[in-house]
Structure 1
């Protein structure tokens, strides 16, 4: 693969596993100087050691302002001013809305929504002062669609899209770019046991390629697969009955798909409902 990128400093949250690790690998191979932040520092270090190029591993808890701020400051000290922040850390609980533990709902809101808000607030001012910078957020197709069984997760992703749309207006003309990636179901631990609906299963590497494309040529919104975004937008102009019928065909019912919760037990206990609740991975 040719060196598409030369030297930008990229900070990635939730970078120890899954999509974050794939993004780090892709950008590092392209010549970027990459820092991956994760609450699981041991895994972040292990991943950094396996990746090509210049990759630093640092601790980062996106739910804690001091931790997130220290992560960004450490990146600046070790690699230089941050050109790109990838807000990637995310969590998902799957099941009926009235069976969702309160702690699981709280964790999703804190990581997915507040974590993204925190990242923008901490990174954008320095970028604006420099007159350039790019914040790329890994959201989800659930920012425009709401699968049964993912209600809180979808709520956080809708919130992320709304927040970024507003901040984008405030940053217009500043040189700071905002982008949001809306993938469908990706083959990661977060999606264990879930269905893809009418769309195919994505790989973390496909999301990483989309992020690299945004680094080269920024634009606000990218859907994966590409047809999902237009489908979601066009569905909104249909009469409610027809819209519901179309979305039932296209959007997976995760409650029906997840007949056996054991497929997600280890992930959800570690990240959402257990005593540790330590990891983050979209």
Structure 2
């Protein structure tokens, strides 16, 4: 097991840090002594969170590579070289894949997948040059599970995990570490009106605690709750018919679970006229 390291004085940049899991990650790392900066598309909300936590805030559009670079440059100038980069921003549309608006599919791919790629490409070179650093991405248990009603979201999260596996292999021996945090359903606006299936509904603090723990003691794949990862590996060894029955019992069917409170959240990115 990797030795635990101190987080005191570490410089951390977090995307999607204004609310939910991102906010709690910022709070947890700040409490651990790190020097934290958050970026978010909603600058007012980011500034409000920053004022509460005593940290730095910037506007950040993760879909724009230039904006990612500017954000990291601001953090470096303000706090020093970045030790830990946390990709957390995300979107999710829930419903039948045949009914998903094109704008919703595109937004999820641009934020959830390309947003992670953009951020890592911006953050990694300086870490590689220094011979140390940690790239942490908040993915999802949807990275390893088949979840009805979350087809495009699941595709983006499977893509994130695949990307992280590849860059981890490329950077082996460089001193730069990679972590994928894969929580189940978390009680945030992104997951409002959905089911947590066989696992309990997580709080943002519980998901953030896994990030802080991984920052102190790096691991590559972290599922929350922890049993999800081993359970999926075992189930995937079984014949397809048995595997399907077990996943049906364990994994939430969001087509049946979704409720109307998702409408206002999804309208913000699924309506091309917004």
Please, what TM-score do these two structures have when normalized by structure 1? 0.93
Q: How does 1:215-254 map to 2 (within 5 A)?
A: 215-254=215-254
Contact 1:10/1:83, CA 8 A, preserved across alignment: yes
Unaligned runs of 5+ in 2: 1-5
Q: Which moved more, 1:65-74 or 1:263-272?
A: 263-272
Cα distance, 1:234 vs structure 2: 1.3
- Where does residue 3 of structure 2 map in the other structure? none
- Where does residue 132 of structure 2 map in the other structure? 132
Please, what TM-score do these two structures have when normalized by structure 2? 0.96
Contact 2:103/2:272, CA 8 A, preserved across alignment: no
Contact 2:83/2:127, CA 8 A, preserved across alignment: yes
- Where does residue 38 of structure 2 map in the other structure? 36
- Where does residue 270 of structure 1 map in the other structure? 268
- Where does residue 279 of structure 1 map in the other structure? none
Does residue 119 in structure 1 map to residue 137 in structure 2? Answer: no
1:7-59: per-residue Cα shift (whole Å, max 9, x none)?
100000000000000000111111111000001001000111111xx410101
Cα distance, 1:215 vs structure 2: 1.1
1:35-94: per-residue Cα shift (whole Å, max 9, x none)?
00001001000111111xx41010110000111110000000000000000000000000
Q: How does 1:196-211 map to 2 (within 5 A)?
A: 196-211=196-211
Does residue 191 in structure 1 map to residue 208 in structure 2? Answer: no
Q: How does 1:1-282 map to 2 (within 5 A)?
A: 5-51=7-53, 54-258=54-258, 260=259, 262-273=260-271, 275-276=273-274
The 2-side partners of 1:242 and 1:251 are apart by 14
| Aligned residue pair count | 269
The 2-side partners of 1:36 and 1:275 are apart by 29
Name the SS of the counterpart of 2:186 in structure 1: coil
The 2-side partners of 1:79 and 1:271 are apart by 33
Name the SS of the counterpart of 2:90 in structure 1: coil
Name the SS of the counterpart of 2:38 in structure 1: strand
Name the SS of the counterpart of 1:89 in structure 2: coil
The 1-side partners of 2:32 and 2:76 are apart by 20
1:119-138: per-residue Cα shift (whole Å, max 9, x none)?
11111111000010001000
Cα distance, 1:273 vs structure 2: 2.7
1:106-126: per-residue Cα shift (whole Å, max 9, x none)?
000000001111111111111
Moved over 3 A (4+): none
The 1-side partners of 2:170 and 2:82 are apart by 20
Contact 1:268/1:274, CA 8 A, preserved across alignment: no
Unaligned runs of 5+ in 1: 277-282
1:154-178: per-residue Cα shift (whole Å, max 9, x none)?
0000000001000000000000000
Name the SS of the counterpart of 2:56 in structure 1: strand
Contact 2:103/2:269, CA 8 A, preserved across alignment: no
The 1-side partners of 2:232 and 2:105 are apart by 25
The 2-side partners of 1:167 and 1:91 are apart by 23
Name the SS of the counterpart of 2:82 in structure 1: coil
The 1-side partners of 2:23 and 2:271 are apart by 24
Cα distance, 1:275 vs structure 2: 4.1
Would the alpha carbon gap of residues 272 and 236 (structure 1) be closer, same or farther in structure 2, given more than 3 Å must change?
A: same
The root-mean-square deviation of aligned C-alpha atoms, in Å, is 1.0
The 2-side partners of 1:275 and 1:85 are apart by 33
